Amino acid sequence: MDGKRVLVTGGAGFIGSNLANHLAADNDVIAIDDLYLGTPANLAEAVEFYDQSVLEEDLPADVDVLFHLAALSSRAMHEEDPARGVRVNVEGFVNVVEQVRETGCDTVIYASTSSIYGDQTEPSPESMEVEARTGYEASKLARERYAEYYQNFHGLSMAGMRFFSVYQGFSGAEEHKGEYANLIAQFAHQIANGERPDIWGDGTQTRDFTHVNDIVRGLELAADHELDGIYNLGTGESRSLNELVDRLNDVLGTDVEPTYSENTMKNYVHHTMADPSKMREETGWEPEIDFEDGLRRVCAPYLD
């Protein structure tokens, strides 16, 4: 994608800033963020930044493509204040799409979530039945339904991307997220500093860990191909948290044992695994950074 005017909501956050910085090489990129989970320090100088909420009027909406990544992106935030979760994740989505639609933008790529698949030890295709088990999942499903409306009623190109456990490491744009950062980033930082990472349960739960660079390529391809519908962005492979700790120790040259705590979280998703075949077939997208390479990238700054 090049020569486009692009708006990235949540653009100072983890995934948003990686996307905005990547696209800014060949496009005019605007990022908006209310700085709840983001920081302008994540952004390159070429990105035009506005400290704005997705709930505001008069957003910089005169664009060719909208990447809507802004969200309250954890279940805890929604359970603490369900009404705020709906306002940001659903009303905010509608508000931004309405504003860009009125300027003539007809290409929207937005973030959904893989957690709506529930526990899956086999690859999850987009066609499988899903349900909302948490307020966060309900908000993302509502977003998908509104996208159907905009596609069917207004003729917009609407692509919902279900992300699987996105990571980069604290040397990238994740550090500001703290306890909300991916477990790879958190565990790597703790182990490198001699701290024992705490695992909820017995550590056999698995995640389809997907590097942010692969997510960014997928988002750009979705815009290039003007995709419609729902797409998985994940590797199709899963690793347990026990294996994660073991492999981080191998890469860092450490021998730090985790601690284990009782997992009391209701409707906790124990296993995730993407079926990325639909995205591959329609765009040629393949994850390029495998688990071992990803861990080396995350750990490299601690080994300098």
CATH of the domain at 181: 3.90.25.10
Of the pLDDT bands very low, low, confident and very high (cuts 50, 70, 90), residue 59 is: very high
Number of domains in the chain: 2
- Residue 279 within a domain: no
Same domain (yes/no): 101, 11: yes
pLDDT digits (tens, 9 = 90+) for 235-250: 999 999 999 999 999 9
Range of the domain at 194: 167-207+237-274+289-303
- Residue 248 within a domain: yes
- pLDDT for 73 equals 80
Q: With contact defined as beta carbons under 8 Å apart, do 218 and 22 qualify?
A: no
Same domain (yes/no): 34, 61: yes
Taking the model in full, what pTM does it have?
0.96
Same domain (yes/no): 10, 144: yes
Same domain (yes/no): 176, 80: no
pLDDT digits (tens, 9 = 90+) for 196-241: 999 999 999 999 999 999 999 999 999 999 999 999 999 999 999 9
Amino acid, single-letter form, for residue 66: L
- Residue 284 within a domain: no
Give 81-125 as a DSSP string: -HHHHHIIIIIHHHHHHHHHHHTT--EEEEEEEGGGG-S-SS-B-
